[in-house]
Structure 1
Amino acid sequence: MTPRLRRAALLAATVLLVALPGVAAGFPGAAGAARVVGAVGGLPAECPPVDLTDEVAVDQRAAASNDVFVGRVDVATPTAGSGRVSYVVAVQRTWRGDVAKDQPATVIVDWPVGAQPGVAQGSAYLFFTRDTAEGIVADACGGTVLLPGGLTPKIAATLKAYLASVEPPPAPEPQPVPVTFHQPDEPLGDPPQIGRVLASGGAISLIGLLGLLLVSRLGRRRP
């Protein structure tokens, strides 16, 4: 191969390597693969990130949550033998719920088995959480939204406008108190027998009759 042909072959190879990424980006299969690989924290592809520019998506997520707030993750404490991680979050802004601003809050996330936790220390996140008996819990699929630039005035204003129309979750209906009947500990005694009742009534009638006879006799003795 002559030097001219060798240089032409090298130039063609270089052009091909530069063009391949653009071709792959326009190929639907390659784009789908990029979405799967780029899933936050290694979560499955059916867990798409929440688009903060989509008011409907934000409102739906907020309507199913008790608390919506932004905070910086300071401490992460994984639970041994499971995917559960407890995060200590410095709360910066609250839109819904009773999570106090400028106070630390503990958020629990139970990550799927085999997935890497999608929350990193030192980063700011928008949290959608539920109040449970165990504490404040965020869903692993959409309960945490990374804010790469932190809580900017634009994001704060957008969330305030979006969440202003979201109704609070309905309060749980009171459950009826079950009624239980118990046998008295100290019975009042057996009811009187019918024979005794009749005997008492007969004695009272006899006394009344004798009284009438006595009155009639006394009346006859008078002149």
Structure 2
Amino acid sequence: MVYYILIYWIKQYVLKNVPQILALTGIVALLIYVLWFPYKYETGSKGMYGITTQFRWIPYFAFMLFGSWMGLKHKTLMFRPIIDFCMMTFCLAVFYGIQLAAKKTLIVAPYQIVTLLPLMGIVFYFYKWCHAEFWRKLYTNKSGHTVIMTISGLCLESYLIQYSVFTTKINGIFPFNLPIMVIVVLVVAFICKVLSRLFSQTFGDKDYEWKEIIQLY
């Protein structure tokens, strides 16, 4: 919520200075990581992306602001689906490659801060790749439209329940554990959404609308 307030203030008063704000955020993140972050050798929950430390909120703000900036610059961006996909895949490989190396070789762990650069590349090129023509055709297709709308409608529920269903027990089958966990989160999120609709109608004035309770979106 604080981020939305900051971004609103930036939009209202210093929109032209977004690149400088991004650079300043990056410098602040680097300084805090180098000078004060105590878990440089951690790759788990206490690492720079861990959920038990607060450092992650600094780069998170930068990525949120970066996404807003890309939306504003949409008309000036050049969309090249094949190149964008290749660059996104490259950034993805570098991002996970560094983290994998940090787990295997302790001396690499403190340099995880470098992963912020390929992570930003993933965000940038994924945004561009999503504007490819075949995605538009998929969205206008009935089945594709249903899948996209269903998943997008579960964003809040997925965010609320994700940490309750995440597990490291299937990390041994990486990277196949990633799509499995995504499916698990979406299924549980949908159940949560159905229960919330049922709860809402239970205390409402009208009769139960079962189709509305179990509808995908």
- For normalisation by structure 2, the TM-score amounts to 0.17
More helix by share: 2
Give the strand-richer structure, 1 or 2: 1
Q: Which has the larger radius of gyration?
A: 1
